[in-house]
Chains A and B, each alone.
Chain A
Amino acid sequence: MSSIETKPVEQPLEDENMDFEVRSLDAVCVNESSLTHPWWYNLKYLVAGVIFGILLVKSEVISWFRIQEMFRLQSFHMYGVIGSAVMVGALSVWLIKRFDIRTIHGEKISFQKKKFNKGNVYGGLVFGFGWALTGACPGPLFAQIGTGAVVISVTLLSAIVGTWVYGYLRPRLPH
């Protein structure tokens, strides 16, 4: 299992400029820790995921019906969930910045500015179509399979293929 160890930042990259550009366009994947930890340190994220997964199910965020209600303006539920999540998230980010709160390992917490590109619009619309069809964004796909909806594995697999096709077509798409 040693292969999952976190590598230090200093490790030279094959194609540094490309990689930086790719990373900066990405939502996550930009926060680099300079700390090297054994792989099992990642188990804390597994626990965080378990809590998050239970929240997704118990709040019915993973319900296909809830997503339809949201897009048809038939219920406030989803707007309440996302709106209050953003408010708590924003307050937390402000507090972290204001009081320079560190990670549990004493590392400084960093935030990245996102740069606008046309993909935010085109990709956003495409994802919106998919969200209304499947009634799930990527997180709920994993949770739905967990609740026993085994057939959603096909949807997840298709989403992985979609991501791959994006990577393949990326140089030819407007950004």
Chain B
Amino acid sequence: MESLFDALRQPWPWYVAGPLIGLTVPLLLILGNKSFGISSSLRHICAACIPANIPFFRYEWRREAWNLFFVGGIFVGGFLSVFIGANEPVSVDENLRRELAVYGVTDLSSLVPADLFNFDSLFTLKGFLLMVVGGFLVGFGTRYAGGCTSGHAIMGLSNLQLPSLIATCCFMAGGFVMANFILPYILAL
């Protein structure tokens, strides 16, 4: 029992976590015929708070309230997971560790690198690009693409949808270009 708890405190390997994440698809379908997807919650928040008479936000968002409960749950889950595995070191590949050290990113104690994502750096160009511009691109891009990693890459591919495969390839292509060719310049700022 002790060793099981120890295993739970460690980061879970992909072959345990991946299939469990995949089970979210049938879970939501069986709970109430809901297609797994998260980025839509951002749209529902817009529709609920600042519709501004834009047709894209003029719909009965209350019907999609389940999605807001789901993301609320993700927030709570993030909070609770701190109690099963706080202070565990984050796994970082040796090559990446060396590369990041060049840019002064040496704090590997949390999943969100404290050297890059903090309130002080928010007002520097680097922090602004990483947090504010990055967030904007996530919100704009997912809605333009019609979904994110959950809606397209997991739900869409599970249902063998070609547009989802195209979108997923574009997510990866965009990420490759940014991480390998642009991000190094931003980290050097």
Main secondary structure of the interface of B (DSSP, over half): helix
Closest CB pairs A-B (n = 9): A128-B174, A49-B73, A53-B77, A146-B78, A124-B170, A123-B144, A162-B139, A27-B147, A88-B22
Could you jot down 13 A-B contacts, CB within 8 Å? A28-B40, A29-B37, A50-B80, A63-B90, A63-B112, A65-B93, A82-B153, A89-B155, A124-B167, A124-B171, A149-B111, A152-B131, A164-B50
A23: B residues at CB distance < 8 A: 59
Question: A59 contacts B17, CB within 8 Å?
Answer: yes
User: Footprint of A on B, CB under 8 Å?
Assistant: 8, 11-12, 14-43, 45-46, 50, 52, 54-60, 62-67, 69-82, 84-85, 90-93, 95-96, 108, 110-113, 116-119, 122, 129-164, 166-180, 182-183, 186
CB distance from A114 to the nearest CB of B (A): 4
User: Footprint of B on A, CB under 8 Å?
Assistant: 3-7, 11, 13-15, 18-19, 22-23, 25-33, 39, 41-72, 74-78, 80-90, 92-93, 95-96, 101-105, 107-117, 119-139, 141-149, 151-152, 154-168, 170, 173
Number of inter-chain CB pairs below 8 Å: 566
CB distance from A40 to the nearest CB of B (A): 10
Distance in angstroms between the alpha carbons of A54 and B93 in the assembled complex:
23
Choose one: B22, B71, B178; the contact of A128 (CB below 8 Å).
Answer: B178
